[in-house]
């Protein structure tokens, strides 16, 4: 215990409830490997006595980390750091693991990943863009290559992009980042301290909620596609277009009310537009910032879903003073991003329409194929067809999606359960399925899902006559 007390250090230095501050410090010790998997933690009373806090503070911190899957607490065996290398689809009563992040960190062998939603290969346009960007290097003079706010060429291209979408923008209102994930992280670091409330919709993108949790925020939720009833929040996060995981698009009247809510309640609102260019009807709705009267909406975008995740280029569009603060914060972390990637991104923005049309046509065809396969082989499952994006939100008629995901893994398919998309661990009867793979692979995946469902459901009966003859 003495070593742990020393590692905790000045854990209470900060703003927010003590239990959150303690949970933040313990989480950091676990993530940094100072508290390795299996390490026993002191009993509630003992740790509370040594830290001179109430026992309830320690219990609340332990329970929060248990919900996140960082700790395992069992009657009679105490509290321990959760084991590493758990199967990515595993869920337990101790919390829900994040299959999205775990599959990126440790890809399972011999399993079709229906857990990650990103393009499977770079398109030809990206290769051509890099060739042109490489040629531009020979013309660079008097430039050391450090641009914390982003290369001027790309900032100007992004400003023109938003202006063309009806949101007048200047280059100093753009911050270029290493992908959308870094954009959300920087905004959170700038605005959120432990104990602050961050409001998200549910279901939502789990990568964002991991960022908010890591900042020690209290996450409050409201149904996706609706306007929050409460204005008590330090930050809000929403996906208004081609929503992840549902594929829905928020209609214009609701977009207007969301922007007004942020302004009226003085709550900075992140509008995550990473999937915004993937609407099946061919349109790209205006960003939420088009409906705002003030500077409360921060628009986040990237090329990871439209082009390829390997080009680590994202951005924030916000008021110039906010961008200036974010750029200073970003300089502390990495001094700026890859210049060649940014020049290639500027080339891609100049030819965005053909890239988008090709990508959307492929996704729409694969979406329709997946819908047909699900209706044929798993007719008892229910879903609403997506309006865009890369994923569908599927409801199973009974049982727990986390437990079912363990069965699908044995059948060679990894699927993320709905609990991973709900900060409170709800939506236990939902799955997210992407439609990124070619039609033949989607057919095979649904076959395996149907076999897994028969095993899990206990019927051992084919989902349809078609399954008997294919």
Residue in the structure block whose two tokens are 């993320």: 416
Which residues, other chains included, contact 258 with Cβ-Cβ below 8 Å and sequence gap of 6+? 227, 238, 240, 250, 269, 288, 291
The matching CATH number, chosen from 3.80.10.10, 3.40.640.10, 1.10.10.10, 3.30.160.270, for 2-84 is 1.10.10.10
**Element of type H or E holding 89:** none
Burial category of 357 from C-beta neighbours within 10 Å (exposed 0-12, middle 13-18, buried 19 and up): exposed
Give the CATH number of domain 95-117+354-469: 3.90.1150.10
pTM of the model: 0.81
Domain residue ranges in the chain: 2-84, 95-117+354-469, 124-350
pLDDT of residue 106: 56
Which residues, other chains included, contact 6 with Cβ-Cβ below 8 Å and sequence gap of 6+? none
CATH architecture observed for domain 124-350: 3-Layer(aba) Sandwich (3.40)
Q: What is the largest distance, in Å, between two alpha-carbon atoms of the chain?
A: 71
pLDDT of residue 3: 67
* Span 414-459, pLDDT tens digits: 999 999 999 888 999 999 999 999 999 999 999 999 999 999 987 6
* pLDDT band, residue 465 (cuts 50/70/90): very low
* Span 116-172, pLDDT tens digits: 888 889 999 999 999 999 999 889 898 899 999 999 999 999 999 999 999 999 999
* Span 36-88, pLDDT tens digits: 888 999 999 899 888 888 888 888 889 888 888 889 988 777 899 987 543 33
Pairing of β 78-81 and β 71-74? antiparallel
Kindly state the tokens that stand for 289.
């910032």
CB 157 within 8 A of CB 346: yes
Identical fold, 2-84 and 124-350: no
Please give the full DSSP string across 161-173, using - where no structure is assigned.
HHHHTT----GGG
List, in sequence order, the alpha helices (H) in 198-251: 206-214
89: pLDDT strictly greater than 70: no
CB 176 within 8 A of CB 356: no
Taking alpha carbons only, the member of 196, 128, 110, 193 closest to residue 343 is 128
């Amino acid at each position: 215990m003495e070593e742990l007390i020393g590692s905790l250090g000045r854990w209470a230095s900060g703003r927010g409830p003590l239990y959150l501050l303690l949970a933040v410090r313990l989480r950091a010790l676990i993530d940094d490997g100072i508290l390795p998997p299996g390490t026993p933690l002191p009993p509630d009373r003992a740790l509370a006595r040594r830290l001179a806090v109430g026992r309830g503070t320690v219990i609340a911190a332990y329970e929060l980390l248990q919900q996140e899957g960082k700790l395992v607490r069992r009657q009679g065996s105490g509290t321990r750091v959760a084991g590493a290398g758990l199967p990515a689809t595993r869920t337990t009563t101790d919390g829900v693991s994040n299959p999205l992040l775990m599959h990126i960190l440790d890809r399972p062998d011999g399993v079709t990943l229906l857990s990650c939603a990103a393009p499977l290969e770079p398109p030809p346009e990206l290769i051509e863009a890099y060739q042109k960007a490489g040629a531009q290097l020979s013309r660079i003079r008097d430039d050391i290559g450090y641009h914390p706010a982003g290369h001027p060429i790309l900032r100007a291209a992004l400003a023109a992009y938003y202006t063309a979408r009806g949101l007048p923008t200047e280059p100093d209102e753009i911050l270029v980042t290493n992908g959308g994930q870094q954009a959300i992280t920087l905004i959170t670091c700038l605005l959120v301290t432990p104990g602050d409330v961050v409001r998200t919709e549910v279901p939502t993108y789990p990568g964002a909620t991991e960022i908010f949790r890591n900042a020690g925020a209290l996450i409050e939720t409201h149904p996706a596609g609706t306007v929050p009833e409460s204005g008590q929040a330090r930050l809000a996060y929403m996906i208004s277009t081609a929503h992840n995981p549902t594929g829905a698009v928020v209609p214009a009247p609701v977009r207007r009310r969301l922007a007004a809510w942020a302004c009226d309640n003085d709550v900075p609102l992140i509008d995550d537009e990473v999937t915004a260019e993937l609407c099946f009807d061919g349109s790209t709705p205006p960003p939420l910032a088009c409906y705002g009267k003030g500077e409360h909406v921060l628009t986040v975008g990237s090329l990871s879903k439209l082009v390829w995740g390997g080009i680590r280029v994202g951005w924030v569009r916000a008021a110039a003073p906010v961008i200036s603060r974010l750029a200073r914060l970003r300089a502390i972390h990495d001094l700026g991003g890859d210049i060649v990637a940014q020049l290639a991104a500027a080339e891609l923005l100049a030819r965005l329409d053909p890239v988008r049309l090709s990508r959307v046509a492929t996704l729409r065809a694969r979406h329709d194929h997946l819908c047909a396969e699900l209706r044929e082989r798993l007719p008892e499952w229910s879903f609403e067809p997506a309006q865009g994006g890369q994923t569908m939100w599927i409801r199973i008629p009974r049982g727990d999606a986390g437990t079912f995901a363990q069965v699908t893994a044995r059948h060679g398919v990894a699927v993320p359960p709905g609990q991973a998309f709900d900060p409170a661990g709800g939506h236990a009867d939902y799955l997210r399925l992407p439609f990124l793979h070619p039609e033949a692979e989607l057919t095979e995946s649904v076959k395996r899902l149907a076999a897994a469902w028969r095993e899990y459901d206990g019927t051992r009966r084919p989902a349809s006559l078609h399954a008997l003859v294919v």
